[in-house]
Structure formats: C-alpha cells, structure tokens
Amino acid sequence: MSELHHECGVAAVYHLPSVTESPLCADVGRECASFLLPRMLQDIQNRGQLAAGMTTYNAHRSQLLETHKDIGTVSEVFRLSHRGKHESIMQQLAGPASIGHVRYATCGQDDRNYAQPFERQHIHKHKWFSFCFNGQLANYNELKDRLTREGDHHLARDTDTEIILHELGRELTISPNKDLVDVFSAAAKNFDGAYSLALLNAKGELMLARDPQGIKPLCYAFDGSLFAAASESVALLNLGFTRSAIQPVPPGTCIRVNETGVSTHRYSEVRDTAHCFFEWIYFANVASTLDDRSVYLSRTRLGEELARIELARNEIPLDSDTIVVPVPDTSKAAADAMAYRLRIPCREGLIRNRYSGRTFIEGNRARKVSAAMKYTPLREVLEGKRVILVEDSIVRSTTMKVLLKRIRELGGAREIHVRVACPPIVAPCFYGIDMSTIAELYAPRFLNNGEIDDEVQRRMAEELECDSLRYLPVDSIARAIDLPASQLCQACITRQYPTPFGQKLYQVAQNNHRQGLASARTYELNSTAIASS
C-alpha cells in the first residue's frame, strides 16, 4: 500500500545521573546518550521518510538546546554513510538528553521549515523548549483562527505543529511558575485529535504525552539510569531493553524526566480508548508491540480470517495451480497465515526493490511510477497460476491497478483473485493518515454510504480488472488485534469518529463531496464550514 503514508514518529532518550552506568549506554557514555537517537529514528523510519531531526540538551554548552534537522531520510540527514561527517554532527549534538522525529507530511508543506523538532528560543530557560509530535489536531482551523484573532499573532507555517508550539508558549507566559505538566494539561484542554508528543526544555526537563484516547502509539522503558521512549517498541528493543521492560504510555498521561528521576502524571480525563487499528494492519513495524498487542500476530490473525472466509465461500479451486502471493512487505504475515490454513503455497511472486528511493512527482502519476519502480513480478513463479493476491488494504486503488496489470502482463498469471486483509476504506482520516477527502478513496464511489455485498465486490473487481475481490468484514479487525472494537478507532471503515471535531470534519467532507468541492484536504478548509456543519 505504497500510496498511503503516515505522518511521523517520535523518539527520546535521557541518561539520568546514577551510581550504576546503564549497560545500554556503555559504548557512548552519559554525556553522549544523544548518540543513540539516530539509530532509534532508523527503527521507526517506516513512519516517515520526508524529513528527520533531533534536539539535544547539554548544560555545558552555551547553546543549551541544539537542533539538527533537514529534508531526507535519517541516513541522509545524519550522514550515516560518511563516518567523519556523521561524527562531526553528533559531537555538536552531544548531550545526556535528546528528542527526535521522522516526518511524512499530512499537514503543511514539504520543505525544511516543516521538519521537526520545532524549537522556541527564549531568554528564560523554562520558556526555551523544543518539541515534536506524531498525529494531527482535528480542530486545527479553530485553534488557528483563535490565535490569529486574539492579539498580534502571526503563524509562519501552515501546520498544527506550530499551533501546539504557540499554545504551549502562551500557557508558559500566562503562568510562568506552573509546572511543565500543568502547562501541557492547560494547553491540551483545547486539543481535539490524536498525538504522541516529546518535549525538551533548556532546564533539562523531558516530557512525553499521549492523547487522551491513545489514538497514536507511544511506549517507554527505563533501566534505572537510561530512559528511552518511541512511537514503536522496536526502537527500544533494538537499544537492548527487554520486552518486559517496555511499557505503553497510558492514554491521557504525561511522563516527566529530569535529573532527579522519572514520574508519571495523568494530565487529562481518560475517555474511551480509541487506538488506531491501522497501526497493526499497516503502519507499524512488524517487529513492534503496541499496547501489549503484537503487530506480527495481529497480521497473522488477519490472514487466518481471510482463510476462514475463503474456505466458507469455496469459490476458488485450492489445487496445485493456486498460489498465495503477498504484496510486499506489510501483507506477508497475513499471506503466510492464509496460505498455511488453505494448505497451498505462499510464494514471493512480487519482489520489492528496496533501493528505488522516494519519488517527488505528485498525484496519481507518482503512485503509478512508484508501483512500477518498487515491484517486479516474477514470471517464473506466476506464469499460468491462479494467484490469490493478498493486500493489506486498498485506499485509492492506483497502486493496485498497476500491480494487477504487471502481474498479468509481465508475470503471466492466469487468474488474479484479490483478498484484502482489511474492510473497505469508506471515510477520511483526520488524525494523521494521508487520506482526508472522500473523493480520493476507492470504495465510497461503489457503496453510496451502503454496506459492501457480493454485487459491490463484483463491480469493484471488474473495475480493477481482477477475477474476484473480497474484503474482510469490520468485525474481523477486533478479533485479529485482540482488542474490543470499542477500544479501537475504526472511523475510516465505520464512519464513526472518536472525537467531536473528527465527526464534524466528516460532515464537512460529506457536504463537499456532494457539492463536488472535495479537492482540498478537509481539515484545511475554513472553520466557518466546520462550525456550520
């Protein structure tokens, strides 16, 4: 599903003074704990390849906070392939505490000014801070209008990250003696949306926060001297923390770290949790565990759900001419499990070129070029076969159409039956996934707000030019992730949003779709339309 992107990922490290040196930091030492950050960011590079950056704290520098960020991958930004240049960058950034970020844009433009972390310099150390976040504020326009309307305020960037920056700055100005957690708690009362956030100030205080419904993932670990946190557990596991030491940050919770220790604070009333189901389906690294649920095992169970439905329908001959082929890489676990239950081979009929790089061409053409560059059909595997092609989801269908054509023409497949390990995507996301209008989605044009049935799937398959198409039903998702549906955000497959402004934006999206005004991202439309919905 290379046509869909997440917004970003965050990471943080803090080496506390301790009699016992953390063995995980033995090769860098306390004052250079920040050296661990680039490797953590590489582990969550799947969450964004547009830009990367980090901010470090060092009390022995005149520049107490130092930020390095740029457009590019982690390897490009931190010059990992050039030893001398990488070491020079990291020596400048040396410090016991650091936060970092990888980015893909769902809000704002694709230039260096939007790379995170965002730093706010100030003469007072408690007001000098840097922060980064993963997510999106659904009420971005309302907050933006309020800021620009009240007083002589100016926003330099069109992004909700800057909104959060100014909201925090305003609270620090209003209540200069407030504790950092109280400052965030006061600002967060105005936030409607999804976020995991890392903040570092010039007093050497680190703060992490997760939205009240836990829509975005965030986890942490602490061994007594080294504290680390990241959007995904794989970054902590690869530092050397044991799986049992890695814990999810509870929704509505801040974690504060300074030289005196680590403390946890509830900053917001916890509503019903609404973890984003797409994290397990697609976004997260397959080696990660999110909120105590394994990504790999969840995807395996999705494949078992596909197999269960396939066996019940008995539509395709499961003989020696039939093979299961995953769309690399996120569909592999589901495809393996499906094939195992069906007792037929799972073959790698599509090979992904991991070195094809990023494309800078926008729109559908970019997705077609990207699919052609990234996936090569193996004729030796596909020729003359009845292929069950397993995909994690279909969003816009551009990539799927290109793949089907290549599998048939270059691969020589006799039949192609698409099986999607996800229900149809029928509604936009306003919480940090790059799909914000109804018009760009594939399924709604066939459904007309109705439910999917055999006839709808037949018409969709005909339009895609495959022999058949089957989606998973909505209730399969909760079973696969092993969480109640009431604890998941499934808005893009149910049209039911977990926050008030999410539901308002959906009404705006529907109105604009009906009026043919759906070309702009819904959350970038003016707040008058939102308020009147």
Non-local CB neighbours of 453 within 8 Å, separated by 6+ positions: none
Q: Alpha helices of 314-395 — where are they, by DSSP H?
A: 332-342, 363-374, 379-382
Q: Is 254 a catalytic residue?
A: no
C-alpha dihedral sign at 427, 428, 429, 430:
negative
- Among 8, 25, 429, 489, the active-site one is 8
Separation of alpha carbons 74 and 236, rounded Å: 17
Contacts 24+ apart (CB under 8 A), 151-158: 156/113, 157/108, 157/109, 157/113, 157/114, 158/107, 158/108, 158/109, 158/524
Tell the residue number behind the tokens 């002589």, with chain if given.
152
Contact 37, 11 (CB under 8 A): yes
- Torsion angle defined by CA atoms of residues 497, 498, 499 and 503, in that order, rounded to the nearest 10 degrees: 10
Contact 209, 185 (CB under 8 A): no
Give me Rg for the CA atoms of the chain: 24
Query: For residue 57, what are its two tokens?
Result: 């704290």
Residue 72 backbone zone (phi > 0: left; psi -120 to 50: alpha; other: beta): left
Residues catalogued as catalytic: 8
